[in-house]
Chain A
């Protein structure tokens, strides 16, 4: 059978890989949350440097995510164009000045303020993108559930994640088999068939998939119950890695970054944006 791997987890043994899953989750949440609070380009710039630095330390294979990154950049460009079309004066209203760069009409004028505003937004993505990739690239699938439980997500919800990871390849394999078997009986799910037929054909693949999956669900829930699942309010996790010195350091650094961002936002600048124009 063809091997299917949802997460391409490879233990590269870097500092980040060796951290507990809980640390990875907490740091990821802290840093993304911090990013949400501010549009201050100086702060965001520092965060970009930080997140790219971590990505390099953990040997994130940027090449593998090339298509994904390109997609995000195109999306950003598209977003910029759309913003400009609908509200080209948003930047000048925000910052209270108007430095004209290119004048198309009086309304459609590209200002320095508008570009600066868009830049602030774009940089945010540059912070979050490597962090997100990093999180899924360095967390071991079986650590995900225990980590979520570690940040107080109810354990039954966490189990759903880990079961989804466990059985996704099986269901994917079922789907392939069913799909092929139906094609052999004359269903055309290929692009050649008209859309209406394809949708109809698709339901014919879906029905057996749903029924065979329901069989599986029944079995799994029995198997879990027979081993005492769900009787207590809490449970422990075999794959949980206890926090060590490095974990506390990493979490500490992230908390400091988080506080720094809040201080910049609410004490120093007292505004969402840092305004270089006044």
Chain B
């Protein structure tokens, strides 16, 4: 009999600012040493559930709470955040923001400092924990010198230093590239095996978490737990998809092909996924009917020629990059953090000037255009919409660029309304922006660029931190724009995104282009994925199981997926 460590009993919670409860009648028991994955859409209440555990609810976020949550037998509301932090360590989504120290050692030591631990003991403890997460060689490094994955290791060390029993990860994969995310999941798994801690992962990127075994999947929808079961059983059902959670690609491919998934096929683990000969043939035949390589004979819109750039004149960030983007293309720039993706996009929109090389738009050298002139042709949408929005009303925000150009108000009205209609914001045109959700704000920022009628839109991580439903919403919107002829360039490390929506991509590795071509080709190529910190798609493994060329198989999947999506619209 395992000992329960967390017990929710009929827990209901309503935030003070909200009318309806965010969590409704939650009953959930987690045992010591268990590894539980909590999935759900943004707004489903899964983060609220996490906040109930670490004490941010009810101590920082106030509201009405009924029922009970006990951690190690103790009612949380009779405890305090500080006391709870000794039992449950929280690793937040944004590893950069929560890095409070000026260097790694200081950040790991933060909890000990607050405990008045004396210096010698503190240094010893920090060294030990740093070793546990393999960061012992970086003690003196500042956050600016670390990668996203390293910052997350530091955050993890910062809670491990307290010797907590429970580790709570709030969307640990949101800001990591695929390869780093995979390593993070491995690290969490190894750590749990070594220390026998209870692990709770809140995440909507199901396939990535399932890279290592989890004991249970808990699905939350509209504040209620609607499923709490073994991963194999969960994947065999269709309930995830119905709840807006993306299934692993190999599972959806099998389902597309009409294979009936049962728990004893071990669908939660591609390495153990077993298919009968009959099922294999079904998948093979299905894939065969969808092979078709798209032809592309569109004219060239944007062309970069041997671009070079460095910030300090010493370290080359962009090192001889040449590329072509065709008119009407949906194009992805991929690569790991620090490979030069963002810098390249800044060169394109003129925020930075290349040291050598040329950029041509429709054959015209655009070197001498000002930022504003460039902005009218190539518009950039920043990752965080809050960094772009500077007006209080939606209409004004979208009209802003036009007003700066002193276009007459009648024409502005016409163009803004037209754009708002395209973006599905027309009904809300007189709303204040503060009333919008994150995804809607994102759409406002896209609209505010679109209204300038740029030839190309560049989007920096358009779907970062979005769950599958909102992601699909944003991407389908962009796809619609693209189908209407808008050329779109995206910087992303989301593999699904580029696989499903992009015509072409190139990967940047250390400032150079390493691969250029169809995404389906990049993601089944071991060398490319390794160099660019990507992950081989699980379709590759499935293709091997059914004995088909992985590139063809992946392309078939994309084709099938796209035609289904269009049929659905």
Contacts and interface: CB of A to CB of B under 8 A. Distances in A.
B321 interface: no
B450 to A, nearest CB: 12
Nearest to B375: A184
A236 to B, nearest CB: 5
A265 to B, nearest CB: 39
Interface stretch (B113-121, B354-362, B539-547): B113-121
Interface residues on B, range: 35 or more
Contacts of A240: 119
B66 interface: no
A194 interface: no
A216 interface: yes
A207 B390 contact: yes
B430 interface: no
A187 B159 CA distance: 44
A106 interface: no
B431 interface: no
Given A166-B143, A186-B372, A212-B387, A228 B101 contact: no
24 contacts: A3-B144, A141-B102, A184-B375, A185-B372, A185-B448, A186-B404, A204-B390, A215-B386, A216-B97, A219-B92, A219-B94, A222-B56, A222-B98, A225-B81, A226-B56, A226-B90, A228-B86, A232-B116, A235-B113, A238-B113, A238-B119, A238-B122, A239-B106, A242-B119
Contacts of A142: 101-103, 106
Contact of B371 (A183, A219, A225): A183
Given A166-B143, A236-B118, A236-B122, A211 B98 contact: no
B349 A228 contact: no
A180 B117 contact: no
Contact of A219 (B98, B117, B401): B98
A146 to B, nearest CB: 9
Contacts of A236: 112-113, 116-119, 122
A28 B118 CA distance: 27
Contact of B144 (A169, A187, A237): A169
Interface of A is mostly: helix
A105 interface: no
Contacts of A174: 387
Nearest to A184: B375
A223 interface: yes
A229 B86 CA distance: 12
Interface residues of A, number: 53
A215 B100 CA distance: 15
A184 B371 contact: yes
A61 to B, nearest CB: 19
Interface of B: 54-56, 60, 80-82, 85-86, 90, 92, 94, 96-103, 105-106, 109-119, 122-123, 126, 143-144, 158-159, 162, 311-312, 342, 346, 349-351, 371-372, 374-375, 379-380, 382, 384, 386-390, 400-401, 404-405, 448-449, 452
Contacts of A162: 102
A178 interface: yes
Interface string A148-165: 000000000000001101
Interface in A78-121: none
A239 B92 CA distance: 24
Contacts of A225: 56, 60, 81-82
Contacts of A204: 390
A11 B106 CA distance: 18
B89 to A, nearest CB: 8
A2 B352 CA distance: 11
Contacts of A170: 96
A224 interface: yes
B112 A183 contact: no
Contacts of B111: 227-228
Contacts of B144: 3, 169
A182 interface: yes
Given A1-B342, A223-B92, A226-B85, 17 more contacts: A141-B102, A181-B382, A185-B449, A208-B387, A208-B390, A212-B386, A220-B100, A222-B56, A225-B56, A225-B82, A227-B111, A227-B162, A231-B82, A238-B110, A239-B105, A239-B106, A242-B119
Nearest to B122: A238
A205 interface: yes
A161 to B, nearest CB: 11
Contacts of B98: 219-220, 222-223
Nearest to A234: B116
A132 interface: no
Contacts of A14: none
Contacts of B116: 232, 234-236
Nearest to B343: A1
The 8 closest A-B pairs by CB, nearest first: A186-B404, A184-B375, A223-B98, A238-B109, A231-B82, A185-B401, A142-B102, A228-B114
A254 to B, nearest CB: 24
A267 B161 CA distance: 56
B475 to A, nearest CB: 22
A246 interface: no
B382 A177 contact: yes
Residue in B56, B82, B90, B99 with the greatest tally of chain A CB atoms within 10 Å: B82
B491 to A, nearest CB: 14
B102 A3 contact: no
A45 interface: no
A252 interface: no
Interface string A3-14: 100000000000
Given A181-B382, A204-B390, A212-B387, A163 B100 contact: yes
Given A223-B92, A236-B119, A186 B390 contact: no
Contacts of A184: 349-351, 371-372, 374-375, 379-380
